[in-house]
Each structure stands twice: as structure tokens, then as C-alpha cells.
Amino acid sequence: MEPFTVSATINLPREQVFDYLADVANHPEFCDHYLVDWHLLREDSRGAGAGARFRIKAPLNRFSWADMTFAEVQRPFRIVARGRGGKYNRIKMMGIWEIHQAAGGASRVDYTFETVPVLPSDHLLELVGGRGWTKRRAARALRRLRAILEEDRQRGKRVMIAAR
């Protein structure tokens, strides 16, 4: 899938927005409308190396499990998450959150997402509707992120470590 970018302006300092995004356990709160069944990949959910496994609720998606790990965390302006999904985890994925200082102490969050399909069948599924569907869900996630951080509303479920 060709990369796409969605943006939102949040009326908070970028350090505060970054601190929230740098904790992967917070991501289900604003992404649970299309990414569900989250499981942390390690006990520490913050910073480089933190990651999670989840299911993507996309239509016609038979192989819905995917994972992401924070590969780069550059405070307070950039987080790069790399992962894989699809059948046999063969589809590479990358998400980049960039937080820019905006006027009046606000922050502009840009989220860029792309995938690298391996087989023609993977590419065909993305062409049929995967890109548009994902872009709409990512835009909604940023709107929910803004509502959570600015107004403390529209909170979804926060992922926790399973009890033994």
C-alpha cells in the first residue's frame, strides 16, 4: 500500500502528546474501533522496543493478526513503529507518528502508514479497498486521540498485562 498521511491538531504541548503516544498500552484507547484484542509484547510498554500484537477488523480479512514494535523513539517529535501482518506475517507494515509544534502551544500530529505486500494476492486485497478503509480508520483514530487528550472523552479500553 502506498503511504498515506492523516493529521490532527491537538491543543496540548507536543511533549505531553508524545508521552501519551510513546506508551503502546495507550493505543487501544483510540484505535479500538478497528484494532482489537491487543496483547503487549513485553512488560514495559514505553519507549523503543515496546510493542503489541492485535487483530485488524477489516472486511474480507481472513488473516487478521498483526504486530507492531516501536523501532525508533525520538523525544518529543517522532515515533516509528514497524511490524508485520497477514498470512504468515509476510506483509511488512510501518507507521510513523510525527508531532510538530503548532501555533499557540498546540501540536500537530501526522500519522503516516504504509505496507509492503509480498504476493499479488496481497496487493489485490489492498487495491480492492484496504487503503481507503485503513486511511478512514486512521483519521478517526486521530480524532479520538484529540478527544481523549483535550477533553478526556471517547476513551476505549487500555491494554493490560494478562494475569498469570
Residue 69 lies in a domain: yes
Domain with 35 in it: what CATH number?
3.30.530.20
Residue 163 lies in a domain: no
The mean pLDDT value for 59-63 works out to 77
Give CA separation, 32 vs 11, 135, 137, in Å. Answer: 23, 15, 10
Q: Which pLDDT band, with edges at 50, 70 and 90, does 163 fall under?
A: low
In this structure, which amino acid lies at residue 52? A
Contacts of 23 (CB under 8 A, 6+ apart): 45, 46, 50
Pairing of strands 4-10, 51-56: unpaired
Q: Which pLDDT band, with edges at 50, 70 and 90, does 126 fall under?
A: confident
Q: Is 5:131 a contact under the CB 8 Å cutoff?
A: no
Nearest to 69 by CA among 79, 61, 78: 79
Residue 157 lies in a domain: no
Residue 93 lies in a domain: yes
Q: Which pLDDT band, with edges at 50, 70 and 90, does 147 fall under?
A: very high
Q: What are phi and psi of 8, to 5 degrees?
A: -150, 145
Q: Is 90:115 a contact under the CB 8 Å cutoff?
A: no
Check residue 52 and give its pLDDT.
94
Facing residues of 92 across strands? 84, 116
The count of domains in the chain is: 1
Domain that holds residue 140: 4-151
- The pTM for the full model equals 0.90
Q: What are phi and psi of 15, to 5 degrees?
A: -65, -40
Residue 161 lies in a domain: no
Residue 156 lies in a domain: no
